[in-house]
Each structure stands twice: as C-alpha cells, then as structure tokens.
Copies of this chain bind each other. A is one copy, B any other.
Amino acid sequence: MRSDVDLGRFGLISGADLPSAHLAYETHGELDDDGGNCILLPSYYTGTSSSYEPWIGPGRLFDPAEWFIVAVNLFGNGVSTSPSNAHPDIAGAAFPEVDIADNVIAQHRLLTHLGVQRIRLIAGWSMGALQAYEWAARYPELVEAILPIAGAARCSPHNVVFLEGVKSALLADPAFRAGRYTAPPVQGLRAFGTVYAGWAYSQAFFREGMYRELGYASVDALVQGWATDHELEDANDLLAMLGTWQRADVGKHHPGGFAGAIGSITARAVVMPGSTDLYFPQADSEREVELLQHGELRPLVSDLGHLAGRPGIRAAETAQIMAAVRELLRD
C-alpha cells in the first residue's frame, strides 16, 4: 500500500525548492526493534515503487517476513512530487531541476521518519542504481551494501547523448508547446518511445528473435508497443526525470570528485552491469568497481540489453540477482 511523506518546502541543491513536496513510497514487512532490517529499493525511469513487486514476497528476492522493504518513488515519476502533480508554482514546464542527490536527501528524511537506523541493502535497477551509489557516498555510515543493476555512478557522456536523442524526438512535436501543452503531444511521445526502443535491448536480442519471448509477435509490434506505451506518459514528467538522469554524477558534490566519492563508499557492493547494455555499458562499471573499496564486478549475463534485470522481466536474470542478494545479506 502506498503512503506519502510530507516534506514541506523542500530545498534543492540547485537553490530552488519544491513547495509542499512529498515522497510516495511503499513498505513491506515490519521494521525490527533496532531499526536494522531495512532494504531500500529506489524507483527507475518510468517505473514506480510498485515496479519492484516481482522482487518482493516469500521465496523472492526480499521476503517481508524478514525484511522491512521500502520502495520509493523518484521525484518526477508522476507519483512523488512531479510536474504533473506539483503545486501550481512549479507545475508542468515550471518544474525545477531535481538531482539524484535531492532524491537521496529526501529519501534519507523518509527513512529517518520511519525509524530506520541502518540500511542492510540498497538494490536498484537503472536509475535506481544511480541512487544507490549516491546513497552510499552521501551516507556511508548508514548503508551496509549496495547492488547497482544495469546502472552506474553517473550518466556517461554517451548516455547524455542517447537521452538528448529521445528528448529531441519529443520536442520535435510542437504540440509539446514548451511544456505548456493542453493535450498530450502524442506524436512526440510516440517518437520518444520509438527512439527508445532501439536502445532498450541489445543487437542480439533482435538477431535471435527474443522479442517473441517478451510477447511481441514481430519487430514492428515491438516498435508499435513502445510508441503506444509512451502515449500514456506525461511529457513534462518524462523530461524532468530525464534531466535528473542526465545530470547524475556521484562526484558532483564531493570534494574528491568522482573518484573520491566512489572511493569513500564503505558499503560492500556487487555491481551488475548488463553484459549487453547499450547505454550503461559494462566498461563503465568496470572502472567504477576499481574505485570501490569493497566492490565486485559481476556482469548480469544476458542478451536483453539494458532491460536485463528489470524486475519481473525474466527468470534467468532474476536468479543471478538473487544469488548476489543472498551473499550481500548473508552476515
């Protein structure tokens, strides 16, 4: 069941603020008496706290009988404070730039409010991984372990360019009206989804016809599916989160920069890039693991491209993640 925590006027690192901000979240299980059994699952692009449900339950990655699981929604995702639901002063096109660090600071307030004393594990897919790194660098005393999946500690320059592409496809539709649309910019949203479809999987995924396994009868059906799915998204929400993603860099606010921030992380880490991910490539994770004190690179071997490891996508990938979770939670 989803709850909200009221953050009041929430000051952002940029100096702007979110008036009457709130974080939406879901919890599963009970916090134990010493506040020490928390698992944090930060949401990903176009996902919500509910997207992690395939990971939660008896026999799954996280059993609520044992853990206090908090799944939390990114600012901008349409559930936490977002262009589509914000105070009129910052609604729509007026929504300020929110960084990954802002999300993590807000989540810290949420967990403090809930009585959490330490976080046993932060597991996050894609933008969830960006948050896991930021958490571990910002609150090293609280975070015991992280499991970044199909993500990184920052948005690489290539990733920025990929995102500029999907963004430009949306902005090519004048119905977007610089964010002041009165009806959805449907063609722009469809183009956004169409461009994204080429990046989401791997070349091998298409070569081997694996789209059929995901329920698409053909390549064309997959492209149409992505286009149609994105008609339902709010354009300003998509762009707010996209900006959060593009600006992500764990070293941005750290005196030691990128290397210093990662080097300051004391949490144990199993880092799981998708082995065929086109925009969070394994090579970036390799460099990040070298900077970690207690990090292990364990590629998620999969032909699914970026979508490897997305909650619920396929049992083979989930089994690899399960093994890492078991190890990280062992002691």
Contact = CB atoms under 8 A, between A and B. Distances in A.
A321 interface: no
Interface residues of A, number: 43
A193 to B, nearest CB: 8
A30 interface: no
Interface in A168-207: 168-174, 187-188, 190-191, 194-199, 201-207
Most buried by B among A169, A207, A227: A169
A139 interface: no
Contacts of A165: 165, 169, 191, 194-198
A190 B219 contact: no
A174 B169 CA distance: 12
A161 interface: yes
A156 interface: yes
Q: Considering the complex of A and B, which 7 residue pairs feature the smallest CB-CB distances, nearest first? A: A165-B195, A168-B194, A157-B206, A169-B169, A172-B191, A158-B206, A168-B191
Interface of A: 156-158, 160-162, 164-166, 168-174, 187-188, 190-191, 194-199, 201-207, 209, 219, 222-223, 227, 278-279, 281, 283-284
Given A172-B172, A173-B174, A203-B284, 14 more contacts: A156-B207, A158-B202, A158-B203, A158-B207, A161-B206, A161-B222, A161-B223, A165-B165, A165-B198, A166-B195, A170-B172, A171-B187, A172-B188, A203-B279
